Amino acid sequence: MGGDADVVALGEALQRFSWPDYLVFVAMLALCALIGVYFGYLAPGAHDEDEYLMGGRQMKTLPISLSLVASYISGITLLGMPTEVYVYGIQFLYGLLGMAAALSFFAWAILPIFHDLRIMTLYQYLQMRFDRRVRMSGSVFFTISMITWLPIVIYVPALAFNQVTGINIHFVTPAVCTVCVFYTCVGGMKAVVWTDVVQTVSMMACILLVAYKGTVDVGGFALVVERGLQSGRIEEPVWQLDPFLRHTAWACALGNFCFSLVSCGMSQSMTQRYLALPSLAKARRSVFYFLAGCWMLFTVCAYCGLLIHATYHECDPVTTKPLFLYPFPDLPDSPPPLCSPAALLQLARAKDQVLPLLVMETLGMFPGLPGLFVAGVFSAALSSLSTGLNSMAAVVVEDFWRPLASAPLSEAAVHVVMRVVVVAFGALCVALVFVVEHLGAVLQLSASLNSISAGPVLAVFVAGAFLPWVNATGCLAGAAAGLSFMAWMVLGAQHAIAHGRLSFPELPRSVANCSYAFNATGTSEAAAMPLADLDPPMWLYRFSYQLYPVLGLAVSLCVSLAVSLLCRPPAAAAPALDPRLFSPLVRGLIKTDRKVMGDRGTHCTRNPNCDPPDNSHKMRSCCGCWRLMFQMSDGNGNNCVKTVKESSL
């Protein structure tokens, strides 16, 4: 690029999405739609509820593992993590240690509970452990989390598409999401899983291609590492016990332990996939395959952040501004603006667009490769969106609609309700994109908003699985207190950030050696906004967002324990505890007057007033009443069945 070029012309030159790029992008969408058509209209059992929501519980380990990766690695990660490393450094990456610990703990201590019970939604477990009120509270928390997260997931790839094509995100978002809603609506779980497989391959291909080509162009891996070390972006773990620092190694590890435990283990979107596998061993295997895939993608994304700095280490595209952005009325001979102020934009209009800018500079001359990148980023978003919509269908039908229905739902009614839920929530998430685009840094915003419900939801399941003395009243009180406290804290912090009262120091980004003309009146070194003239925010608002799940968990558990102690029933009136509702780590502590032996199967017995019952291996509704049973040995080698709990759904 010649020195005579200005930043506006450069930005227009980089928006060179060609017809092969559009072809690659459209081909990905078309393939996803065809997969939905196949599983919705051609595959056997397409209209069965268990097939639609759980894949018949006979899914294969590798597709489920790839689906888990695709669902968890959203466009927020593909664009947000490189930006995080470019702006703040790799300290965030040390949180992967917490993620590994969380998933290992989940696989051995919590997953056996859900898999043994063969439930369809996590919140059925909450009714079995506590009561219907807690089940509904958990379902509402999940709904809040999805509604706040999915619009951000949609918005991020729209930014990438806008950067490489110039097409307004308000046109891109509805068009692409319509395809996602279509294949999720018609194809159910199997369509979502197999489109996730396609999208995972697309994600991995795009990010590896960017990393390889960018490294070659900049001068090699050693130079990337050298510039990262010199700039402070590659740094040792910070073990300082200061909760007000944005990132420290211990805060990232602890925060990611709690956040990963709830988002990867105790979320309906993820656990629904574990439960679609036929055995606990395969479900555990999928957890560790999923962990390996996440580590690989996170590491490559972080490396791309270092690559961005190595490429733009002397000319930051975020802080450079168009030449003659504003006219200079005090200078009579000053030239007019190059174009209208609305059209004069920075090279990277937002920090999260720096990676797409790098893609266009390194891959733009190869037809089809920018299209592969955009397809990969949109794949990450579509997989997360489709997973969320499929899970919302399960939650609405099983936790809201079916328990409140005055009569048993017919298969035809369930068929309609599931698809209406997918379409309705898809439309709502697209509409909320218009709100998200005004709310600031994507990665922190996503983690912060999810943390409103993450801590309280985690507390509910921790109390259920590990604390037998916590009762339903205490659990509800703790969840309400945690949710209220975190909503006040997180929204207060976001308000302070939006009004410039709270900011965090960024690593320096130079514009000292740009090869194009730009408005030099802007800052040449990115730094945090000085806050001396502003009222400082309340000390609670300054906590690292990594600690939000920890604080929510602590508040909820403390209130739950206190209220349960105050409201515990007399010993004679205390209900018998079913050991299967607790983690294997604490089952030995559960006092029971019966010894459970042999195969502990969960059965739904026939009510004589009902239609033919569901298969015995499923926990499903039998005319609004279910019986939880143990299959036990009578000591003489004969099996007998004994009812231990009965409840209304």
Q: Which pair of tokens denotes residue 529?
A: 């906004």
Average pLDDT over residues 351-379: 80
Average pLDDT over residues 639-643: 37
pLDDT over 60 (residue 307)? yes
pLDDT over 90 (residue 293)? yes
∠ CA(345), CA(347), CA(352), 5° rounding?
105
pLDDT in tens, 202-244: 888 888 999 999 999 999 999 999 999 998 899 888 888 888 8
Residue 581 domain flag:
no
C-beta neighbour count of 301 within 10 angstroms: 24
Q: Which of 438, 459, 490 is the last residue of a domain?
A: 438
Residue 230 domain flag:
yes
pTM reported for the whole predicted model: 0.80
Q: Tell me, what's the pLDDT at 573?
A: 59
CA-based nearest residue to 90, from 252, 223, 204, 219 = 252
pLDDT over 80 (residue 575)? no
Tell me which H or E stretch contains 27: helix 19-37
**Most confident of the ranges 369-383, 425-439, 549-563, 573-587:** 549-563
Domain range for residue 92? 15-321+360-438
Contact criterion met (CB below 8 Å) for 373 and 23: no
Average pLDDT over residues 362-367: 82
C-beta neighbour count of 404 within 10 angstroms: 9
Average pLDDT score over the chain: 77
Q: Residue 114's pLDDT band (boundaries 50, 70, 90)?
A: very high
Q: Which region among 110-124, 369-383, 385-399 has the lowest average model confidence (pLDDT)?
A: 369-383
Q: Residue 79's pLDDT band (boundaries 50, 70, 90)?
A: confident
Q: Residue 350's pLDDT band (boundaries 50, 70, 90)?
A: low
**Most confident of the ranges 73-77, 236-240, 357-361:** 236-240
Q: Tell me, what's the pLDDT at 351?
A: 67
- Between strands 625-633 and 639-648, the pairing is antiparallel
What is the DSSP secondary structure assignment for residue 190, as one 8-state letter? H
pLDDT over 70 (residue 335)? no
Contact residues for 418 (Cβ-Cβ < 8 A; gap 6+) = 49, 52, 53, 188, 393, 396, 397
Phi and psi (nearest 5°) for 598? 70, -155
pLDDT over 50 (residue 566)? yes
CA distances from 63 to 37, 185, 268, 273, 289 (A): 19, 20, 18, 10, 10
> Between 553 and 313, whose confidence is greater?
553
Average pLDDT over residues 32-59: 81
C-beta neighbour count of 594 within 10 angstroms: 11
Q: Tell me, what's the pLDDT at 212?
A: 93
Tell me which H or E stretch contains 569: none
Q: Tell me, what's the pLDDT at 520?
A: 56
Q: Which of 438, 467, 500 is the last residue of a domain?
A: 438
Residue 315 domain flag:
yes
C-beta neighbour count of 163 within 10 angstroms: 27
CATH of the domain at 219: 1.20.1730.10
Residue 498 domain flag:
no
Residue 214 domain flag:
yes
Domain count, the chain: 2
CA separation for the pair 419, 404 (Å, rounded): 19
Q: Which pair of tokens denotes residue 426?
A: 């898809």
CA separation for the pair 613, 609 (Å, rounded): 10
Q: Tell me, what's the pLDDT at 537?
A: 79
Contact criterion met (CB below 8 Å) for 396 and 421: yes
> Between 544 and 339, whose confidence is greater?
544
**Most confident of the ranges 423-427, 515-519, 636-640:** 423-427
Q: Tell me, what's the pLDDT at 46?
A: 58
∠ CA(566), CA(571), CA(572), 5° rounding?
135
Q: Tell me, what's the pLDDT at 647?
A: 36
C-beta neighbour count of 241 within 10 angstroms: 8
Length of the chain: 649
pLDDT over 90 (residue 532)? no
CA separation for the pair 274, 287 (Å, rounded): 8
C-beta neighbour count of 112 within 10 angstroms: 18
pLDDT in tens, 480-492: 999 899 989 988 8
Q: Which pair of tokens denotes residue 275?
A: 């439960």
Q: Tell me, what's the pLDDT at 633?
A: 32
Q: Which of 412, 438, 464 is the last residue of a domain?
A: 438
Q: Tell me, what's the pLDDT at 321?
A: 52
pLDDT in tens, 420-434: 999 999 999 888 887
Q: Tell me, what's the pLDDT at 52?
A: 81
Residue with tokens 């667009």: 353
DSSP string, 414-429: HHHHHHHHHHHHHHHH
32 burial level (CB within 10 Å; 0-12, 13-18, 19+): buried
Residue 466 domain flag:
no
Q: Residue 113's pLDDT band (boundaries 50, 70, 90)?
A: very high
- For 234-256, the three-class secondary structure string (H helix, E strand, C coil) is CCCCCCCCCCCCCCCHHHHHHHH
Q: Tell me, what's the pLDDT at 572?
A: 53
CA separation for the pair 160, 56 (Å, rounded): 37
162 burial level (CB within 10 Å; 0-12, 13-18, 19+): buried
Average pLDDT over residues 523-541: 59
> Between 515 and 223, whose confidence is greater?
223
Q: Residue 531's pLDDT band (boundaries 50, 70, 90)?
A: very low
Phi and psi (nearest 5°) for 478? -65, -45
pLDDT over 60 (residue 28)? yes
Q: Tell me, what's the pLDDT at 64?
A: 94
CA trace torsion 535, 538, 542, 548 (10° rounding): -150
Q: Which region among 107-111, 408-412, 439-443 has the lowest average model confidence (pLDDT)?
A: 439-443
Residue 643 domain flag:
yes
Average pLDDT over residues 368-382: 83
Residue 248 domain flag:
yes
C-beta neighbour count of 519 within 10 angstroms: 17
CA separation for the pair 431, 59 (Å, rounded): 33
pLDDT over 90 (residue 513)? no
With a pLDDT cut of 90, the percent of the chain lying above it is: 27
Q: Tell me, what's the pLDDT at 160?
A: 67
